[in-house]
Amino acid sequence: MPLHRPATSTWLRWAVHLILGLSVGHALVMVTRLPGWCLPLPALVWCALAGWKRWGAPPPPRLRVQVIPWALAPLAFWGIYVYLANSFGQVDMGAVYFHLQAGIAKHGGSERSVAAILYTAAMLLILAAYTWLVRADYRWQRWDHWLAFVLLVANPMFYSMGQRGAAVVTDPGTWLERRYVEPVILKAPPQPPNLLLIYLESLERTYADEARFGDAYADLAALEADAVVFDNVRQLDNTGWTMAGMIASQCGTPLMPAGLLHDSQFEPLHHVVPGVACLGDLLAGLGYRQTFMGGASTEFAGKGLFYEDHAYDRVLGREQLAGRLDDPDYLNSWGLYDDSLYAMAEEEAKRLDRQDGPWNLTVLNLTAHAPAGYPARACQANQGEHDGVDILYAVKCSAWLTRRLIQRLGDQGLLEDTLVVIASDHLTMRVSAWDQLIQTPRTNTLMMMGNALTPQRISTTATTMDTLPTLLEAMGFTIDWHRAGLGVSLFSNDPTLAERYGLEALNGYMREETALQQRLWQGLAPAYRNDGQPDSPPEAPQQP
């Protein structure tokens, strides 16, 4: 008597295809620039193909075998990648490697915990649906091996890991290292200026487009009227998260994680980029008193280690500042709101100004942090209630608080003989305005004012690595070849690396680079083996 498989329930078969179709649609929207409304289209195409080919309900040629699909693990890895894309917009594996090593203790992303749980549940449902399909349809059993292979080789996570691994075990890439110029101050003015450096979390200059974002950027635009504005500062790989953005702008290098080069790669870091001189080191050599202030924990992602390693005298974060609050409960999941932080920064500026000698006050805010921001109470009187979703509310709040701080400091005479630098730490992650943000090339905020600078607009194609030499020259310092690290001063006529080679080429060289990576982590990684090639003058163009 022939063996027959029991008839498959129609509703179960279509439920499986709906789950798989929606997952394909969601993945396409997350990893491409397709707008969100396109999500149902791949699901409809999938279900149409499933109905036409009768996937899950073919005539059985033999008794069905219970199998564990080969593609389950590759599907799970794609689930991780899509989750990262959904959370951050663009996945930078350098950020993943760095945070795993530097530590993610005391992060403020607790609101993502529910989303992570729901995402995990959805992924388990997808894996169960695919397992059912492979077991129900002998044709999918035949295709399963090939699908597993395609999913593995197509996953950008493995592509990035493969390139980095290949670079480690083969001859070291030295393209960036050969273009690195040690930051050096050759000459300083008799009375060097103070420095107020404000990092605006995720507040990119793309928001300045009123046609797309209304008046969200208006308060920063008002400050730009009296500033040197750099309106074409692009973002390279390994500069797209907070620590990476600060290191790129203060050290002139991308933050290439220690990763496989680290001698104890599974142990927490105790130093952050110890092999390069950064802004704090240079200013400390001239007698500057330096303070870093941020509302979040300094223990997150090596932030405190970086500033302590690079000659900041005071490093103040949530642990040090929360006790000063009048209302001890006025905190968000990351730490202090920016109205509180800025009030304390004002007091710190007064303290620094009362003492002799120049000072550097570096402040990192968090109002516009993805996904919806953390607007302060002070903004509600100015803007009304926040709906908990609209990032433009948070952008406007951050801009308004920053302009108010600058005005208050100026009114008290605290900005005399002071260079003020306002910069976004990086481009924003995925937010409610994401579809509008990605319509055009995106740029970072960077403006400088004070210290007798003449307001102007500079549109040189640049990256955040060019901030360091530009800032130093704005302070009146003479630096080697108008360069520091991989950056070129935007006040000079010399082309930046981004101008000369383009962002795509620079990102490609970065993926193959190990020599500069070893320089960054000097003492924590094997020493760079020089190939004996003589150094060429930094201004001399070197061909790829």
Which pLDDT band holds residue 535 (cuts at 50, 70, 90)?
very low
Asked if residue 330 has pLDDT above 90, the reply is yes
DSSP symbols for 318-342: HHHHGGG-SSTT-B-SSBB-HHHHH
Query: Which tops the pLDDT comparison, 169 or 335?
Result: 335
**Quick check: is 264 in a domain?**
yes
Residues 467 and 327 in one domain: yes
- As for how many domains the chain has, the answer is 2
Residues 155 and 254 in one domain: no
pTM: 0.84
Q: Is there a contact between 349 and 358 (Cβ–Cβ < 8 Å)?
A: no
- Can you tell me the mean pLDDT for 204-233? 98
Residues 269 and 142 in one domain: no
Which pLDDT band holds residue 55 (cuts at 50, 70, 90)?
confident
- Can you tell me the mean pLDDT for 137-162? 81
**Quick check: is 118 in a domain?**
yes
Residues 318 and 466 in one domain: yes
pLDDT at position 258, please?
Answer: 76
Residues 261 and 375 in one domain: yes
Nearest to 506 by CA among 447, 466, 459: 466
Residues 333 and 390 in one domain: yes
Residues 197 and 158 in one domain: no
**Quick check: is 194 in a domain?**
yes
pLDDT at position 93, please?
Answer: 65
- Can you tell me the mean pLDDT for 404-410? 98
Which pLDDT band holds residue 532 (cuts at 50, 70, 90)?
very low
Which pLDDT band holds residue 95 (cuts at 50, 70, 90)?
low
**Quick check: is 287 in a domain?**
yes
pLDDT at position 270, please?
Answer: 84
**Quick check: is 4 in a domain?**
no
**Quick check: is 542 in a domain?**
no
> Domain ends where: 108, 140, 169?
169
Which pLDDT band holds residue 528 (cuts at 50, 70, 90)?
very low
Percentage above 90 pLDDT, the chain: 59
12-36 b/e with 16+ CB inside 10 Å = b?
ebeebbebbbbbbbbbebbbeeeee
Residues 131 and 198 in one domain: no
Residues 66 and 195 in one domain: no
* Radius of gyration of the chain measured on its C-alpha atoms: 26
Domain containing 156 equals 10-169
> Domain ends where: 169, 201, 216?
169
Terminal C-alpha separation, the chain: 72
pLDDT at position 53, please?
Answer: 84
Instruction: Report how far residue 304's alpha carbon sits from residue 310's, in angstroms, rounded to the nearest whole number.
Output: 10
What mean pLDDT, rounded, does the chain reach?
86
Residues 274 and 396 in one domain: yes
> Domain ends where: 111, 139, 169?
169
Residues 336 and 308 in one domain: yes
Q: Which whole-number Å values give the CA distances from 437 to 126, 212, 368, 398, 532, in the listed order?
A: 30, 8, 14, 18, 46
**Quick check: is 471 in a domain?**
yes
Residues 386 and 495 in one domain: yes
- Can you tell me the mean pLDDT for 168-173? 55
The CATH number assigned to the domain holding 223 equals 3.40.720.10
Which pLDDT band holds residue 541 (cuts at 50, 70, 90)?
very low
**Quick check: is 430 in a domain?**
yes
